[in-house]
A and B are shown apart, each in its own frame.
Chain A
Amino acid sequence: MTEFDPERFEDKYVHYMTELQEAYKRAFDVMNEEYDSTLVHAIDQQILNESEPFYRDGEFRIELPPNPHDRVHGVVVEPDRLDAVLDRYVEELRAQLRRVFGLEER
């Protein structure tokens, strides 16, 4: 388990690339199992490609790009459905980040 250092996380793409990849990959796999693969891929490639994880006040936060709905194309999805799956995806990412860094809630 990687020891987490919030200060190093500010330079996360230098210090924690492997851990971030693991968290993102695990979240993607979980989502892909549970939800429509086309939608999960669209969220992954069209919304999360402009997202960034931050750590503050003891928790991870995933900053999403503005107007995520406008970014999704190539897949037909109701806005409510997109919101729900996107929320779930973000929660899964946060959970996987906690897991990778050993910060899971007990």
Chain B
Amino acid sequence: MSTESAKTEDDLREEVTNFLRRNFPQIQMHGGSAAITNLDVESGSVSLQLGGACSGCGISPMTIQAIKTRMTKEIPEITQVHADTGMGGGGGMGGTSPSFPGESRGGDLDSDDDEGPKAPF
């Protein structure tokens, strides 16, 4: 209710976005994307959609767990993280989402030559 001392949704959204950028650059490096689909400041719940190459890459399950574990530790306002790759609902795999909304995202990625869900191992 009170908006005086608490972070606003925009603040928190930005914090989550920055957290992902800082700690999980591999999502974008591998041609994937992460978008915040829902953020509830009051309950501290955030929903993420991993899209693009993440939708079947073999790394995303572990990455999702890593995001959940670390985000709730490192962003105190976040108590619950829901994340899926668009396959969790039994639907298709094609759900691509814009990457990291909230900040300019053009130009820093060169994913045109990415061959898809391959990790550089």
Contact = CB atoms under 8 A, between A and B. Distances in A.
Interface of A: 13-14, 17, 20-22, 24-29, 32, 41-42, 44-46, 48-53, 73-74
B56 A74 contact: no
A74 B121 contact: no
Given A14-B70, A49-B60, A21 B65 contact: no
Contact of B58 (A44, A46, A53, A74): A44
Interface residues of B, number: 25
Interface of B: 26, 55-66, 69-70, 83-85, 87-88, 90-91, 93, 119, 121
Nearest to A51: B61
A20 B62 contact: yes
16 contacts: A13-B65, A21-B62, A22-B121, A24-B61, A27-B58, A28-B58, A28-B59, A42-B87, A44-B56, A44-B58, A45-B85, A49-B85, A50-B61, A53-B62, A73-B90, A74-B91
